[in-house]
Amino acid sequence: MPTDTPINPDVTALPRQPRREDGKINLIGLTREGLRDHLIAAGTPEKQARMRVNQIWQWIYQKGISDFGEMTNLAKPYRALLDENFVIERPEVITKQVSADGTRKYLVRIAGGHEVEIVYIPETDRGTLCVSSQVGCTLTCSFCHTGTQKLVRNLTAGEIVGQIMVARDDLDEWTQPGEGSDARPRLVSNIVLMGMGEPLYNFENVRDAMKIAMDPEGISLSRRRITLSTSGVVPEIARTADEIGCQLAISFHATTDEVRDKLVPINKRWNIAELLEALRTYPKASNSERITFEYVMLKDVNDSDEDARRLIKLIKGIPAKINLIPFNEWPGSPYERSDWERIESFANIIYKAGYASPIRTPRGEDIMAACGQLKSATERARKSRAQIAAETGL
Ligand code: SAH
Ligand code: SF4
């Protein structure tokens, strides 16, 4: 592997949970261990720390409380101590848009004035929240709007969990006083790390955030309801199974290296063969936990019957389902969506080979909330491909 390939992002390193200017620390996003350490440092007796973590987590993640004064099972002086040292702070919601199909898109502001988009997609049997892991993306997939935005920085674990909190606030999903924790239907029932950014280039923060999402005393979602999508950061794939344990989706999108090099340039660093090898040995793949292959349908680029057949050959032996994504256009996008008949023909070949091949219905297109359309409003001034190439060395 060439060591000088500058694909690996030069992301501004932030402390994992930075102090605010007033010296206080945000409790959202701290792992159990992290919270325990901070509570002890603030004067909590060591013997009580574990219990306090449980109590505080329940207030924050099950009841949605952000004021220490409301934590009625804690003594008043202890609440005051918490208030002196900590805050419970979500990203600030700047705008909320609701699509004709019910999809909701929130634009939120995070520290440093950066903006991130979050999308909530209600369906009959579930509600999926599409969460971002970075502001922008260092990768430059040629069909992706986010890829035209220069990476500004990684999100902290608190900012990732905070996105879930913001959606739950808006959907009024918190357990109310007197209610059991399962009294309300889970409106955010699934999480997909498919918003802005490459989650495996922000591994630790994504891992900590998803641990909180999966913890029974945290947001309490099953690991089967969380899907991380990666463009193919091969060295981090096995770690995803070991350290997070959620479901995996791969942005595959092409069946030859020649085409994939153009669509998903990280392919120049780890090509199709290397990616598939990592998936063949993926510890968690099984028939009940298949790997999702995402495949964007681009007219006359990757959508032929021959591509479909090649795809089947490539993934042979990997427990997989294939998610076909009709291309979502964005201003200035260089591709067109494949015709519907083409998509169906492609899907049919895959289906006949024994794979589930759902076609992802575009949601929220009228509010630019569909896959690959996200981009902060402040960053809309597009960079040219040449500029990006110069910056990333691709
Ligand atoms: N960076 C990660 C996750 C974010 S993208 C990744 O690339 O996997 C989530 C999915 O949307 C990816 O499969 C991505 O390839 C796809 N996507 C990006 N732009 C798109 C567009 N314009 N139309 C349809 N799908 C798109
Ligand atoms: Fe980044 Fe994913 Fe978009 Fe590629 S598809 S530019 S990896 S967000």
Q: Domain range spanning residue 83?
A: 25-87
**Is 11 inside any structural domain?**
no
Ligand 2 pocket residue status of 135, Cβ below 6 Å: no
Say if residue 30 is in the same domain as residue 133.
Answer: no
Ligand 2 pocket residue status of 149, Cβ below 6 Å: no
Say if residue 196 is in the same domain as residue 318.
Answer: yes
Tokens of 294: 């995402």
Cα separation values, 392 from 51, 149, 274, 363, 388, Å: 47, 12, 22, 31, 6
**Is 48 inside any structural domain?**
yes
The pLDDT of residue 366: 77
Maximum mean pLDDT: which of 13-22, 151-160, 199-208: 199-208
Say if residue 38 is in the same domain as residue 157.
Answer: no
Residue 15 reports pLDDT greater than 60:
no
Say if residue 52 is in the same domain as residue 171.
Answer: no
Ligand with the closest atom to the CA of 229: 1
Listed residue (280, 279, 393) closest to 10, CA to CA: 393
CATH of the domain at 62: 1.10.150.530
Quick one: what percent of the chain has pLDDT higher than 70? 89
Say if residue 78 is in the same domain as residue 169.
Answer: no
Cα separation values, 314 from 190, 252, 318, 324, Å: 29, 11, 9, 16
Say if residue 55 is in the same domain as residue 169.
Answer: no
Residues whose CB falls within 8 Å of the CB of residue 82, separated by 6 or more in sequence, listed in order: 42, 56, 68, 71, 74
Say if residue 239 is in the same domain as residue 142.
Answer: yes
User: HEC states along 340-361?
Assistant: HHHHHHHHHHHHHCCCCCCECC
| Average pLDDT of the residues of the chain | 88
* Alpha carbon distance 96, 371 (integer Å): 17
145 alpha carbon – ligand 1 mean position (Å) = 9
CATH of the domain at 270: 3.20.20.70
Listed residue (158, 186, 333, 318) closest to 252, CA to CA: 318
Say if residue 275 is in the same domain as residue 289.
Answer: yes
Ligand 1 pocket residue status of 198, Cβ below 6 Å: yes
Tokens of 32: 């159990």
> How many domains is the chain built from?
2
**Is 294 inside any structural domain?**
yes
Say if residue 124 is in the same domain as residue 199.
Answer: yes
Residue 75 reports pLDDT greater than 70:
yes
The pLDDT of residue 49: 96
The pLDDT tens digits for 84-128 are: 999 999 999 999 999 999 999 999 999 989 999 999 999 999 999
The pLDDT tens digits for 369-393 are: 766 666 544 444 334 444 444 444 3
The pLDDT of residue 278: 95
Q: Which parts of 252-381 are beta strand (E)?
A: 291-297, 320-326
Tokens of 385: 């491909």
Mutate to test the pocket of ligand 1, among 198, 267, 294, 337 (most ligand atoms within 8 A of CB): 294
**Is 277 inside any structural domain?**
yes
Residue 272 reports pLDDT greater than 50:
yes
The residue out of 87, 103, 131 marking a domain boundary is 87
Listed residue (346, 263, 343, 361) closest to 307, CA to CA: 346
The pLDDT of residue 364: 79
**Is 17 inside any structural domain?**
no
What is the average pLDDT across 251-268? Answer: 98
Quick one: what percent of the chain has pLDDT higher than 90? 73
The pLDDT of residue 373: 65
The residue out of 56, 87, 118 marking a domain boundary is 87
The pLDDT of residue 372: 64
**Is 20 inside any structural domain?**
no
Query: At 4, is the pLDDT very low, low, confident or very high (cuts 50, 70, 90)?
Result: very low
Ligand 2 pocket residue status of 144, Cβ below 6 Å: yes
The whole model's pTM is what? Answer: 0.90
What is the average pLDDT across 358-362? Answer: 85
Cα separation values, 286 from 96, 101, 279, 297, 394, Å: 39, 34, 11, 26, 35
30 alpha carbon – ligand 1 mean position (Å) = 28
**Is 322 inside any structural domain?**
yes
Residue nearest to ligand 1 atom 4, measured at CA: 194
Ligand 1 pocket residue status of 328, Cβ below 6 Å: yes
What is the average pLDDT across 41-45? Answer: 94
Say if residue 202 is in the same domain as residue 55.
Answer: no
Residue 60 reports pLDDT greater than 80:
yes
Q: Which residue would you say has higher pLDDT here, 22 or 390?
A: 22
* Alpha carbon distance 83, 78 (integer Å): 9
Residues taking part in catalysis: 117, 371
Say if residue 266 is in the same domain as residue 355.
Answer: yes
Lowest mean pLDDT among 37-51, 173-187, 221-235, 297-311: 173-187
Say if residue 205 is in the same domain as residue 273.
Answer: yes
* Alpha carbon distance 233, 248 (integer Å): 12
**Is 74 inside any structural domain?**
yes
Q: Which residue would you say has higher pLDDT here, 380 or 333?
A: 333
The pLDDT tens digits for 146-177 are: 877 777 789 999 999 999 999 999 999 998 88
The closest-lying atom of ligand 2 relative to the alpha carbon of residue 251 is 5
Ligand with the closest atom to the CA of 147: 2
Lowest mean pLDDT among 179-183, 222-226, 313-317: 179-183
What is the average pLDDT across 328-338? Answer: 90
The pLDDT tens digits for 228-251 are: 999 999 999 999 999 999 999 999
The residue out of 68, 87, 106 marking a domain boundary is 87
* Alpha carbon distance 131, 205 (integer Å): 13
The closest-lying atom of ligand 2 relative to the alpha carbon of residue 372 is 3
